[in-house]
């Protein structure tokens, strides 16, 4: 499994791969719209990852404080949350790949390489986000 930092590096690389293409477009209009969208997506991702980390921190603290059967339940809860978060992040990567490659055929190769590195698949639907 790819850890969170590796995922974020690959994710940032895919986003940065769009910069040369965006700069080649005429100033204004679509380029600025795309930059605004990328910036908003990056901020949303940072906020979501921060919330995910906070949830993991709470579950780790509960696991460390628990004893006996409660500890087993806390470990199961932590593992379930890790799997859920991984699926959410993989779906986010797939959406970014699809969005970037839709208008940018030159990025299709870099998106496919990122898929191979992360194990994600472009076009995969998003899992439920538990109210997010």
The tens digit of pLDDT for each residue in 91-112 reads 888 887 787 777 666 665 655 5
**DSSP code of 106?**
G
Q: What is the pTM (predicted TM-score) of this model?
A: 0.55
Spell out the domain ranges in the chain: 4-118
CA distances from 44 to 49, 60, 66, 76, 80 (A): 9, 24, 33, 28, 23
The tens digit of pLDDT for each residue in 20-50 reads 554 455 545 566 777 787 788 888 888 988 9
């Amino acid at each position: 499994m790819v850890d969170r930092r590796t995922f974020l590096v690959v994710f940032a690389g895919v986003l940065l791969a769009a910069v040369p293409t965006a700069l080649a477009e005429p100033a204004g209009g679509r380029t600025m719209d795309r930059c605004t969208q990328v910036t908003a997506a990056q901020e949303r991702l940072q906020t979501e990852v921060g919330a995910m980390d906070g949830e993991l921190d709470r579950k780790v603290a509960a696991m460390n404080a628990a004893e006996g059967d409660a500890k087993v339940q806390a470990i199961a809860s932590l593992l379930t949350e890790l799997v859920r978060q991984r699926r959410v992040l993989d779906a986010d990567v797939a959406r970014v790949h699809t969005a970037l490659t839709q208008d940018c055929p030159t990025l299709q190769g870099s998106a496919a390489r990122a898929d191979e590195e992360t194990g994600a698949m472009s076009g995969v639907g998003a899992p439920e986000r538990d109210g997010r």
